[in-house]
Amino acid sequence: MGIHRIGLVVPSSNVTVETEMPALLNRHADARFSFHSSRMRMQSVSPEQLRAMNAQRERCILELGDAGVDAILYACLVALMSVGPGEHQRVEGLIAEQLATGGSEAVIRSSAGALVEALRAVHAERIVLVTPYMRSLAEQVVAYIEAEGIQVSDWRALEVADNAEVGCIPGDRVMDAARSLDRTGADALVISACVQMPSLDLVQAAEDEFGLPVLSAATAGVYSLLRALDLPVDIPGAGGLLRADAPAPALP
């Protein structure tokens, strides 16, 4: 069994995605993975620092190309969504061109694009979500998702600006925010619209509690990477999205 090399482009202050992505993908029964990161300097989740961080993208892609990765995830959702609608398509296209020029055949996905892809995979037309961002950035995330034709009927912004602090937001606080949402008519809940806000222990529990599909930026990223690598989507304990290809239960 070969090893699929996953490249992660992450803000320098992020720690969660490099914890949650391996934890999820290493549950896969039929594939093995290794993980390789390149970092863009960013400490505060502000428009200015997000712009400065995005300017470091090309260096990160060069570094990961040197590692011979099979797939790359641009792992900062708000960095792209804050620019404006469709930005994930533009950036993924630019990265694909850069990789091809360098002779790399790696596939590219972004957390922003992966969330949209995953919401469409669960046929979500109306959602609710929880973000860690300041309200102004959260509004841009909502507008970005709605520009993709998915209605956001209710949302919460936890308003944590320091990115290191985002990685320490307690699960109870996230769940309380989720419980406070008006979920009437919602097709799905995004419990963490940020790869830095921890969600791995919450997704399945929230899905069991609320009785609707629950996604996070992390589970959406895993879904998108597996689809891009043409691997079965069958990872237990992380919500229905990641059991898309699970065998049907045997009839009694």
pLDDT by residue (tens digit) across 22-78? 999 999 998 999 999 988 865 555 566 666 666 777 888 888 988 899 999 998 888
Q: What is the mean pLDDT of residues 159-183?
A: 92
DSSP category for residue 155:
E
Distance CA 118, CA 195 (A): 14
Q: Is 194 tagged catalytic?
A: yes
| Catalytic position from the list 60, 194, 220, 222 | 194
pLDDT digits (tens, 9 = 90+) for 187-228: 999 999 998 999 999 999 999 999 999 999 999 999 999 999
Question: Predicted confidence band at 12 (pLDDT cuts at 50, 70, 90)?
Answer: confident
Distance CA 233, CA 244 (A): 6
**Do the Cβ atoms of 159 and 43 come closer than 8 Å?**
no
From first CA to last CA, the distance across the chain in angstroms is: 34
**Do the Cβ atoms of 151 and 126 come closer than 8 Å?**
yes
Mean pLDDT, the chain, whole residue set: 90
Distance CA 36, CA 117 (A): 23
| Catalytic position from the list 60, 76, 150, 190 | 76
Q: What is the mean pLDDT of residues 164-171?
A: 91
Q: Is 168 tagged catalytic?
A: no
pTM for this one? 0.92
